[in-house]
Structure 1
């Protein structure tokens, strides 16, 4: 028995998704349903993230054609049909290929097939380029899943955006790689996550919008996987206690541009109260960045906040009506690079 020729029509779509930085959070992962797990918290969306392309390659045909019997006997359905092949390549921000980073995209394709948003017989090539490091608190896994999901949706014209977001959130929870990044990205801007869960399935977030140039910086030799903290009962208690206090204070008033100072205060309080600031690598890095900003005499212009849960920081304006200037950002970036830190300029978006 031989396979029928495959139909071939190459079509490619490119989509982007910016990253996400969590500044404070609490952990909600006890539900048996992944769509109801997640976090309450607050954070911000950034322009730099992931660019993904999805290319349709071919569609497998049934090994046996359907036969109609004209009523004399039972019809013979077509089949079987082999699943299409999925070719995945993921590249880090330095251009090197990340050979063991494709599983979440395999999971995504399988979930989309189960939801009948993709045909099982279709083959695709997925190409993912990261603009920031993984496991440093920049939401790269969520951004990658959303970017690839957007590309599939544009390509197939199937499904609603919320369906793809719910699937991305579920895969994040299946892999222990994120709690609230998908919900935060769906809210855009500077968000306050009021209820845990996937967008449209229990998760609730509000946001305000501002465009601000900022810096993100990280310790290249370090990384932290989210599961190290959210699967540890001691960390879970200390993080959730501190996070709930901060969220409860932040939700008391309307979430607008004027709440920036409150967010800066609560993110600092959370870092201390949760114990995350006391980890030696974070403490050392934060002190190093603050020392350089003091040397540059920019302490009155800048807030430095930890990015949860990496060994990384975001360098933010003290006031949203006084954005950081290009020469200020350049001076800070050059100083931090000289100290051996990774640095990238981006925008709150």
Structure 2
């Protein structure tokens, strides 16, 4: 029997790196929102060896790591990503989390084990620090504490979201492994966290995200031009970590303008989080 699971994409506006020797405790604090575009994983037990495909291509080392944490039984995992990877849309986390939830369901394991396995795999491979836990929960979130069991505070809100890929892929591991850059991210991110916790709102999240991108030097010229172009149509910020934008406001105007700068997708804020599919 094949089990299908979905995990939403997740965009981070700003974050603070929280290292720890134990990957269960490592991660990030920050804020962002979940998307109704994400990843679908089909999971089935099989004979032989575990096989993982992502958009039809064999691979998925992060997913393989999560699966190995959950079972020694060979499984086949086919993942379909609904947004491009390495652009700050949380696709690595979404694919791994959807697969882990499917494996947990197939093997009779609790959901919490799937979330922990996906988080640990992401941290080990430096493909993400804070996408799995919010993707499991859904909504607009402030990640108050790091780690696989970190606490989340939700900001009320919903509606349409426009996302756009503006430039070349940005490899998360390359940024996270750059010590001076990581230190600056942590310093600026900590300040943004304090301000958002004092005044939690979607508007404040976008304002602080714009400041974070500028002050850390992560804002590329291409993304900066795209953000300036849509300023009169709503609120927009850079996806962390990617040469991409997420925006809310006048959807039609945002799509029209961002299409001049890159590839555009529309979706909604996903408030349900990762889940099994019928």
TM-score, length-scaled by structure 2: 0.91
Aligned to 1:80: none
Provide structure 2 residue ranges, at least 5 long, that are not aligned to the other structure.
Answer: 271-278
Measured after TM superposition, the shift of residue 105 of structure 1 is 2.2
Match of 2:182 among 224, 236, 261: 236
Measured after TM superposition, the shift of residue 152 of structure 1 is 1.5
Q: How far apart in 2 are the matches of 1:285 and 1:244?
A: 23
Aligned to 2:210: 268
Measured after TM superposition, the shift of residue 331 of structure 1 is 4.2
For the pair shown, which has the larger CA radius of gyration, 1 or 2?
Answer: 1
Aligned to 2:111: 161
Instruction: State how 1:139-154 maps to structure 2 within 5 Å.
Output: 139-154=90-105
Question: SS at the partner of 1:107?
Answer: helix
Aligned to 1:67: none
Aligned to 2:161: 214
Match of 1:342 among 252, 263, 272: 263
Q: How far apart in 2 are the matches of 1:36 and 1:22?
A: 19
Relative to structure 1, the CA distance from residue 145 to residue 271 in structure 2 (aligned partners, 3 Å threshold; closer, same or farther) is same
Match of 1:98 among 16, 35, 57: 57
Provide structure 1 residue ranges, at least 5 long, that are not aligned to the other structure.
Answer: 1-10, 59-83, 92-96, 114-119, 318-323
Q: How far apart in 1 are the matches of 2:135 and 2:66?
A: 17
Greater RCO (CA < 8 Å, at least 6 residues apart): 2
**Can you list the C-alpha shifts for 1:192-247, whole angstroms capped at 9, x where unaligned?**
11111112xxx22111342211110013x501111212211110121111100010
TM-score, length-scaled by structure 1: 0.73
8 Å contact 2:10–2:35 — kept in the other structure? Answer: yes
Alignment partner of 1:110 is 2:42: no
Aligned CA-pair RMSD: 1.8
Poorly superposed stretches of 4+, deviation over 6 Å:
none
**Can you list the C-alpha shifts for 1:120-154, whole angstroms capped at 9, x where unaligned?**
3x432211100001110011111111111111122
- The total of aligned residue pairs comes to 270
Instruction: State how 1:25-40 maps to structure 2 within 5 Å.
Output: 25-29=15-19, 31-40=20-29
Aligned to 1:314: 246
Aligned to 2:274: none
Relative to structure 1, the CA distance from residue 153 to residue 209 in structure 2 (aligned partners, 3 Å threshold; closer, same or farther) is farther
